[in-house]
Amino acid sequence: MVQMAQSQKRLSRQKKRQQPKSDYQALLEYSLNLLTRKWYTERELTTKLVLRCKKVGIESADDLITQILVRLRELNYINDARILDNYLEYTLPARPLGKYGFLQKMRQRGIDFAQAELAWNNKNVDEEILARQLAEDRIKRFSRPAENRKKELLIYQRKKLANFLAGRGFALNIIYEVVNDLI
């Protein structure tokens, strides 16, 4: 039974290989395949398509990529505003970042700084609550200091916590406030 299923898969793969596809169709299928796994920004998808064109050997890729991006925008498969909203709604509570960390993350993904900042401000995210939750979870990992080294270890823990929050993109005033309250 399993062998029949495997042989049928092999046959269907061979049929797919035999049918010549246009470069446009092949790249469109590739981009749709990518988008079934993850939401990509326009810049991320463009980068992936350029690399794919180089790998496959497609020349004059700029026009093809532009056509594909236009088609995907029409179908609403790539939408940077939706990625911003989803990130603020779902990812940010699960993996908190400060405003600066969020803006940096969106810049890396190719979303305009002004658009990302506007989305952050419209969402009215309370950075202090996010930083406090993150710091409380992080403090649980710290070991209890021995009496003779208590002061040294507390200073070390404060620095460690402040660096952690700074790495997540929180503002300095929020970091100092949270660290002073918790340690």
Quick one: 57 and 24 in the same domain? Answer: yes
Quick one: 149 and 90 in the same domain? Answer: no
Indicate the number of domains in the chain: 3
Quick one: 6 and 34 in the same domain? Answer: yes
Quick one: 11 and 64 in the same domain? Answer: yes
How high does pLDDT run on average in the chain? 86
Quick one: 109 and 156 in the same domain? Answer: no
- Please report the pLDDT score of residue 132 as a whole number: 93
Does residue 19 register a pLDDT over 90?
no
- Please report the pLDDT score of residue 16 as a whole number: 54
Quick one: 90 and 37 in the same domain? Answer: no
DSSP 73-122: HHTT---HHHHHHHIIIIIHHHS---HHHHHHHHHHHT--HHHHHHHHHH
In tens, the pLDDT along 25-52 reads: 989 999 999 999 999 999 999 999 999 9
Quick one: 95 and 133 in the same domain? Answer: no
Does residue 145 register a pLDDT over 70?
no
List the structure tokens of 88. Answer: 């603020």
Quick one: 133 and 114 in the same domain? Answer: no
Does residue 77 register a pLDDT over 70?
yes
Quick one: 54 and 97 in the same domain? Answer: no
pLDDT-based confidence at residue 142 (cuts at 50, 70, 90): confident
Quick one: 53 and 67 in the same domain? Answer: yes
Euclidean distance between CA atoms 56 and 127, whole angstroms: 46
Quick one: 99 and 60 in the same domain? Answer: no
**Which range marks the domain in which residue 69 is found?**
2-74
pLDDT-based confidence at residue 23 (cuts at 50, 70, 90): confident
Give me the mean pLDDT over the 105-129 stretch: 93
Question: Are 34 and 40 a contacting pair, CB within 8 Å?
Answer: yes
Quick one: 36 and 61 in the same domain? Answer: yes
DSSP 33-76: HHHTTS---HHHHHHHHHHHHHHHT-SSHHHHHHHHHHHHHHTT
Q: Is the C-alpha dihedral spanning 14, 16, 19, 23 positive or negative?
A: negative
